[in-house]
């Protein structure tokens, strides 16, 4: 039940406000900042239980149990919510949201969603104009076809093997999991399977000429490129569903960017050349690094 209330815009506002006022108090240290911080702490410490809160808790109970709670059950769910709310407010008082990377990312995403709203569906004319304005995003991938001779370890007689291949000799290497003949493979697959440098080498290799060995994460490859298909624009109808999503994303991004600019002047940005990092910022950066590492795994 607490999860539902935390997802409400008011709860997000409380979290963001607590962080803003706390940072303002530390930065300015003036009388007005102290009074604002004190008022904010009072707001965090005051938990209001009114009819609206009770109604939400009763609705949650009814959704789960299929019936309205009786008086005793209502008192119990209110007390359970209060216990959770007290812990939540204590987290705010300790400014945990200022040093937790996951919480920071969650708050940013929540506020962006609130600002963005739901854009109206575009007209066909608007969608076509968006397609033409961003046509560079709607090209097919580069595709490459090539034959290969693979070795897990770099051969000692590498130059000799290359000359024999160029002389037309059929040489059987070791088994490669994708096979020896790579026909019309997309750039994204080649990059992920062989690596960026390998893919670049394929594009630069002369056609119908054995080259290599090129190194990949799995080993060493002698390759003969037989064809490169350059990117081509994809027809409007073929990418229409993707266009709808991209158009919506662009509208949301613009709304958030506009709202960010509107309130930018409400914040004092200080560029400090001392190189020192406060303990709270250091903790936040460390938390963000940990979050990226977790997502990477």
Q: Distance between CA atoms of 194 and 222, rounded to whole angstroms?
A: 13
Let me know: does 276 contact 92? Beta carbons within 8 Å. no
Let me know: does 47 contact 86? Beta carbons within 8 Å. yes
Confidence label for 23 from pLDDT (cuts 50, 70 and 90): very low
pLDDT of residue 9: 41
Helix (H/G/I), strand (E/B), else coil: 68? coil
Sketch out the chain's domains with CATH numbers: 2-119+253-296 (no CATH), 140-229 (3.10.50.40)
Q: Which phi-psi region, left, alpha or beta, contains residue 167 (left: φ > 0; alpha: ψ -120 to 50)?
A: alpha
Above 50 in pLDDT, residue 5? no
CA atoms within 13 A on the CB side of 52: 3
What pLDDT, in 10s, does the model give residues 152-181? 999 999 899 999 999 999 999 999 998 999
Strand order in the sheet with 219-229: 181-186, 143-151, 219-229, 210-216
What pLDDT, in 10s, does the model give residues 93-128? 888 877 777 888 888 899 998 998 888 899 999 999
What pLDDT, in 10s, does the model give residues 205-240? 999 999 999 999 999 999 999 999 999 999 999 999
Let me know: does 99 contact 289? Beta carbons within 8 Å. no
Let me know: does 172 contact 181? Beta carbons within 8 Å. no
What pLDDT, in 10s, does the model give residues 185-207? 999 999 999 999 999 999 999 99
What mean pLDDT, rounded, does the chain reach? 83
pLDDT of residue 159: 92
Above 60 in pLDDT, residue 3? no
């Amino acid at each position: 039940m607490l999860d539902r209330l935390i997802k409400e815009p008011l709860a997000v506002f409380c979290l963001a406000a607590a962080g803003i006022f706390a940072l303002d108090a530390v930065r300015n240290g003036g009388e007005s900042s102290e009074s604002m911080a004190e008022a904010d702490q009072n707001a965090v410490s005051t938990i209001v239980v009114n009819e609206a809160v009770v109604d939400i808790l009763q609705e949650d109970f009814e959704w789960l149990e299929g019936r309205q709670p009786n008086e005793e059950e209502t008192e119990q769910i209110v007390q359970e919510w209060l216990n959770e709310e007290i812990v939540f407010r204590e987290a705010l008082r300790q400014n945990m949201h200022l040093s937790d990377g996951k919480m920071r990312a969650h708050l940013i995403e929540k506020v962006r969603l609130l600002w963005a709203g739901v854009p109206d569906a575009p007209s066909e004319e608007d969608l076509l104009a968006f397609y033409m304005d961003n046509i560079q995003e709607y090209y097919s991938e580069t595709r490459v076809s090539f034959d290969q001779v693979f070795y897990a370890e770099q051969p000692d007689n590498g130059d000799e093997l290359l000359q024999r291949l160029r002389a037309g000799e059929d040489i059987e290497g070791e088994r490669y999991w994708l096979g020896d003949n790579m026909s019309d493979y997309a750039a994204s697959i080649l990059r992920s399977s062989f690596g960026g440098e390998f893919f670049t080498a394929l594009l630069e290799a002369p056609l119908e000429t054995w080259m290599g060995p090129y190194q990949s994460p799995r080993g060493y490859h002698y390759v003969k490129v037989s064809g490169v298909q350059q990117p081509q624009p994809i027809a409007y109808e073929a990418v229409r569903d993707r266009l709808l999503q991209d158009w919506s994303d662009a509208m949301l991004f613009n709304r958030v960017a506009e709202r960010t600019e509107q309130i930018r002047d409400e914040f004092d940005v200080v560029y400090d050349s001392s190189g020192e990092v406060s303990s709270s910022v250091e903790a936040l950066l460390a938390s963000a690094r940990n979050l990226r590492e977790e997502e990477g795994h």
